[in-house]
Amino acid sequence: MTERNNWLITETRFHPAALHHKETVFTIGNGYLGTRGTFEEGYPGDRPATFVHGLFDAAPLVNTELVNAPNWLPFVPVINGERFRMDRGTLLSYRRELHLRNGLLKRTVCWRSPAGHTVELRIERFASLADRHLLAIRCRIIPLDFDGILELRAGLDGHALNPECFHWHLEDQGACGEHTVYLHMRTRHSGIALCEACHLTVSGGEEMNWTHLDCDAAPAIVASLKVRAGEPVSADKLVSLVTSREAGDVVSTALSLLEGARTRGYDGLLQASTEAWAQEWDVCDITIEGDDQADQALRYNLFQLLIAAPRHDDRASIPAKALSGFGYRGHVFWDTEIFMLPFFTFMRPELARNMLMYRYHTLPGARRKAQEQGYAGAMFAWESADTGDETTPRFVPGPNGQLVRIWTGDIEHHITADVAYAIVQYWQATGDDAFMRDYGAEIVLDTARFWGSRVEWNQARAQYEINDVIGPDEYHEHVNNNAFTNRMAQWNLENALDILAWLRLTCPDKAAELETRLELTEEQLSHWRRIIGNLYIPRHNATSLLEQFDGFFALGDINLADYEPRTVSMQALLGIEGVQQYQVLKQPDVLMLLYLLREEYDIAALRENWAYYAPRTDITYGSSLGPAIHALLAARLGEVDQAYHYFMHAARTDLDDTRGNAADGIHAATAGGLWQAVVFGFAGLRMKGNGYTLAPHLPPHWRKLAFTFYHRGKRAYVSLPDDETQG
Ligand code: IFM
């Protein structure tokens, strides 16, 4: 494989300063769990982490967080008494590769120990996409210039920390024969049990001797053998991981899964996983010919989405940092529904359905939130975890150690309409009437009930309003009549009425049941109609230029170019209070609305609003959610150079750590936004009833853009620029 292979992410030199960034980049996973790219033997200051969907536990300040599961990676070769560790001795060569085709992470290292013994190590690992509970590591070691004793330690480490918290109780640990150990833990507050079991086999060498290390919460198998120069030794470590979210007796389940894995062996497991990946890519891949960088980076981002999507679990969804880092503590934001979900809705609708079901299952939490704030219906949490209750921290430490009040959990209300939007988009794209009837309708209706109670009547204006919110542009807090929020709320109400009418026609029993349970009286429905007809949406005079919120145009104007060169956001420069005095946006707000409701705002309206808001958006240093959306909109406007610039900026966010915070985890919304930028932006895909149209605006050097998608159960194939057909 060469460097130009667009299915490979490679690292050819080891830079300790980039340790945490690269741990994120080399995250592997299988839709059940994700494991950061820490080294098997460890490294000083590393942040090993495995996150399992749904494995939450209470935590100070952040309410609840995804727990760092016991580390399944430890595999330490000890060479004539010297532990292999890359921070000592001499690293003669180094290469790491992530194979996007099958999720295999490989490292090849030539290392000379401080005592002068040289070894070549090839270590690879994967999380099986075919069997979510199975993980595997293979290590081949060649002593290059010595005969001696090699010790191989393969274990499990229950001392896995979250940044401020240790979540585990040790229940039990032990060994089953010479080759197997297990570790049984339980989370402190949520009481979720977890068992990891691991099995080690070694081939090559002579006079093998097996023992165990029984350190507290860190059992390990140790194989000790004589090795000779030039003669390779190979070791396979197979691991099973099970939690009480899936199994009653986690220990016996983990051990029996491990036994099954042992029978199939490393090669058998890898083959099954590779086949599962082949099926995945058959549907989800996008090819960009003529631009290797874009092709590779896009595929990498899609890979990260695919390994994060819950495949067998409809009570979990993708967190803002996927399953790849501690950032945002595993909480789920609008990032999922608005940025990531379209990829799944059109490529893997079954997975989109799982994530929408997560919102259905968390309705009780959304109803509690509405009630606690004095509203009716369901009001989704800005940051959501296992129950759907609000988990946004009220305070976070600021740059100088002072506590900063975070208002998003209290007043960033548009999330509630965003969830409804994703449900309707899924329904329209898939035609999944059963989902809408049994689950989706209840969400859209109960969120409408929330908006019905949320609006206020302004007598002077003789219109309804929604006051004291934060819109998508989080630089401005406590604003009135945010255009995005108001129009999305109105859209939520309109769709609730349409869906109720559809339900009355197609499934009157279900309609009647929901009408009774959600108290959808005629009075309530008339109230919704009045709001739809009279909700205030701020705009400039009679033009199609929307005003982001009441008084936005009266704020100080700003020329962002005057602040260049800079490396920090406008909020960091002007301060939390300062930035609110200016017309500067953290991320698209009005433009986001024009994108989501693109069927109702024509290109002239988009052009007018783009001309106003794009130059006032802190696109490079504001939110990572912005650049892919700007790419998409610029492409729609035919501004292909700009579109490509934003697209590549977004595409390299994690690979190049352009924001300096990739260590906290993958920017999953960016990954989802990129897919939308390509499909809805550059290709210009639009759904029309049962068919679709394309309006391509490709960068001139893209020789070909090819992808497939599902629409109402049928698979469509697009290949541009030649394919100008309409499906
Ligand atoms: O949801 C986003 C928000 O729009 C901007 N701040 C970060 C959040 C999580 O990615």
pLDDT in the model for residue 3: 42
Which pLDDT tens digit goes with each residue over 513-556? 999 999 999 999 999 999 999 999 999 888 899 999 999 999 99
Which pLDDT tens digit goes with each residue over 166-217? 999 999 999 999 999 999 999 999 999 999 999 999 999 999 899 999 999 9
Give how far Cα 167 sits from Cα of 34, 64, 517, Å: 18, 11, 39
Sign, Cα dihedral of 145, 146, 152, 153: negative
Nearest CA to ligand 1 atom 4: 472
Parallel, antiparallel or unpaired: strands 218-227 and 206-215: antiparallel
Q: Is the pLDDT of residue 138 over 90?
A: yes
Helix pair angle (483-506, 441-454), 10° resolution: 130
Q: Is the pLDDT of residue 724 over 70?
A: no
Which pLDDT tens digit goes with each residue over 432-456? 999 999 999 999 999 999 999 999 9
pLDDT in the model for residue 53: 98
Cβ-contact 241, 52 below 8 angstroms: yes
Domains, the chain: 9-284 (2.70.98.40), 286-331+343-347+624-727 (no CATH), 350-557+592-602 (1.50.10.10)
Whole-model pTM?
0.97
Whole-number Å distance, alpha carbon 367 to ligand 1 midpoint, is: 23
Whole-number Å distance, alpha carbon 335 to ligand 1 midpoint, is: 7
Whole-angstrom Cα distance, residue 258 to residue 248? 16
Annotated active-site residue 11? The verdict is no
From 318, 326, 332, 333, give the residue whose CB has the most ligand 1 atoms within 8 Å, as the site to mutate: 333
Q: Is the pLDDT of residue 723 over 70?
A: no
Whole-number Å distance, alpha carbon 2 to ligand 1 midpoint, is: 37
Could you tell me the pLDDT band of residue 463, with boundaries at 50, 70 and 90?
very high
pLDDT in the model for residue 399: 79
Measuring CA to CA, which residue among 485, 315, 306, 338 is closest to residue 423? 338
Measuring CA to CA, which residue among 439, 392, 433, 437 is closest to residue 419? 439
Q: What is the pLDDT averaged over residues 74-88?
A: 98
Q: Is the pLDDT of residue 4 over 80?
A: no
Q: What is the pLDDT averaged over residues 80-85?
A: 97
Could you tell me the pLDDT band of residue 726, with boundaries at 50, 70 and 90?
low
Whole-angstrom Cα distance, residue 135 to residue 104? 11
Whole-number Å distance, alpha carbon 103 to ligand 1 midpoint, is: 27
Report the chain's mean pLDDT, rounded to a whole number.
Answer: 97
Q: Is the pLDDT of residue 127 over 60?
A: yes
| HEC-encoded secondary structure of 25-85 | HCCEECCCEEECCCCCCCCCCCCCCEEEEEEEEEECCCEEEEEECCECCCEEEEECCEECC
Q: Is the pLDDT of residue 79 over 80?
A: yes
Whole-angstrom Cα distance, residue 662 to residue 669? 13
Nearest CA to ligand 1 atom 6: 623
Which pLDDT tens digit goes with each residue over 294-323? 999 999 999 999 999 999 999 999 999 999
Q: Residue 632, exposed/middle/buried by CB under 10 A (0-12, 13-18, 19+)?
A: buried
Cβ-contact 719, 706 below 8 angstroms: yes
pLDDT in the model for residue 727: 60
Nearest CA to ligand 1 atom 9: 320
Decide: helix, strand or coil at residue 458: strand
Nearest CA to ligand 1 atom 10: 320
What residues are in contact with ligand 1 under a 6 Å CB criterion? 320, 328, 333-335, 472, 474, 623, 625, 669
- Atom of ligand 1 at shortest distance to CA of 667? 10
Determine the distance from the C-alpha atom of residue 158 to the mean position of all C-alpha atoms in its chain, rounded to a whole number: 25
The percent of residues above 70 in pLDDT, for the chain, comes to 99
Could you tell me the pLDDT band of residue 722, with boundaries at 50, 70 and 90?
confident
Whole-number Å distance, alpha carbon 691 to ligand 1 midpoint, is: 33
- Atom of ligand 1 at shortest distance to CA of 320? 10
- Identified catalytic residue from 124, 474, 547, 639: 474
Which pLDDT tens digit goes with each residue over 629-641? 999 999 999 999 9
Nearest CA to ligand 1 atom 7: 623
pLDDT in the model for residue 725: 56
Determine the distance from the C-alpha atom of residue 138 to the mean position of all C-alpha atoms in its chain, rounded to a whole number: 28
Which pLDDT tens digit goes with each residue over 370-424? 999 999 999 999 999 999 999 999 999 887 889 999 999 999 999 999 999 999 9
Cβ-contact 127, 99 below 8 angstroms: no
Decide: helix, strand or coil at residue 492: helix
